[in-house]
Every structure is written in structure tokens, then in C-alpha cells.
Structure 1
Amino acid sequence: MADGALLDVRLTPRGGRDQIDGVGTLSDGRRVALARVRAVPEKGAANAALELLVAKSLDWPRSAVSVVAGHTARLKTVRLVGDAVELARRLEALALKG
């Protein structure tokens, strides 16, 4: 996507802390970011916590991060709006960190 990026995430709500644990591979071969948040999966609290976590982890504006798919599932798609090249660089750095 030219004006941003999509990030697939496997989220663990009530995970004890807000943290991105790196990158994992699902049984179908897809690579996803592994994240956990303290928030409970009720009334969008875990999704909001995930958006904030991703924004902070990438040093990206909170208003440019949103869950666009998987609102009630553990597997989510997060949309990041902005410069795709810069986002790719930051996502790669985050993956190497975790």
C-alpha cells in the first residue's frame, strides 16, 4: 500500500504487560507480529491498547494506527498510515529487536 502499511498481529489480551514479543509464524506459514497487552478483550479495550502499543513501538502518531480487521479475534490487521518506506524501515528494526 503506497500510503502506509498493513501489519498482521497475533494479540494476547490480559498478557500481563504491554509488549511486542517479536515475529512468529502461523501454521499456514504467514508471519505475524506477536503482541500482548494488559487490557481485557471487552468493548474494544484490547484493540485500543494494541493501537497505542504499535504507535509507541514504532514512534508513529497514534492517530495513524488503527485495527482494521479481526476486531474480535486474536489475529488482527493493523493499518499504519504514512510513508511506506519509512514504515518498512521501522517495522524491520522492530522485528530485529524482538
Structure 2
Amino acid sequence: MPDDLTHLATPGTEIAVRVTPKASRNLVKVEADGIRVYVTVVPEGGKANAAVQKLLAKALGVAKSRLVLVRGQTSRDKVFRVE
């Protein structure tokens, strides 16, 4: 069972995540230093960002169209905002 993040699904909430691309499986994990998102895809052409957005939206229980990447398009550290 992935970590439940539904309490963060309020509009305007900014969620900072650290991304690990090319992981062995897709996973959202809450750790002591923040939220980590592991995705199996490679970070090229925005594929990893799209995968992270989809996984995070699922963990939050919101539509992926409601999650907007506000910072970190090319960084491992990203900030998404719930619209």
C-alpha cells in the first residue's frame, strides 16, 4: 500500500518531491526528509515528469490535470501545486 497523501490534496498546497528516475518500480514513499517518488521511466522529453505527476495524483486522490509542476522541470527536486 503506497503512503496515503490525501490530506495534502487541498487546492493551493505545494508539494515538494524528490524523484528517482529509472527505478525498479513506480512508488510514492513518505520518508523522514520528505516525499520521494520512484519512477521506472527515463528522464527524457518530460516522460519522468508525466509519470511522477500521474503517480502523485493517484496517491493524492486527485485528477492528474489538477497537479501543476511549478518548479524543477529538469531537476530531481520538484514542486507540484494542487489546483
Aligned to 2:32, the other structure's residue is in SS state strand
| 1:80 alignment partner, one of 71, 79, 82 | 82
List alignment gaps of at least 5 residues for structure 1: 26-31, 82-98
Partner of 2:40: 38
TM-score by length of 2: 0.81
Q: CA RMSD in A?
A: 1.4
Letter in 2 for 1:12: T
Please give the per-residue CA displacement for 1:8-62, whole angstroms capped at 9, x wherever unaligned.
000000111111121232xxxxxx2111001110000000000000111111011
Partner of 1:59: 61
Could you say which structure has the larger radius of gyration? Answer: 1
Give yes or no for the alignment of 1:10 onto 2:18: yes
Distance in 2 separating the partners of 1:77 and 1:71: 9
Runs of 4+ with deviation above 4 angstroms:
none
Distance in 2 separating the partners of 1:73 and 1:38: 16
Q: 1:3 to 1:59 in 2, by over 3 A?
A: closer
Shift of 1:68: 1.4
TM-score by length of 1: 0.69
Contact 1:10/1:74 (CA < 8 Å) preserved in 2? yes
Calculate percent identity across the aligned residue pairs.
Answer: 35
Contact 1:24/1:34 (CA < 8 Å) preserved in 2? no
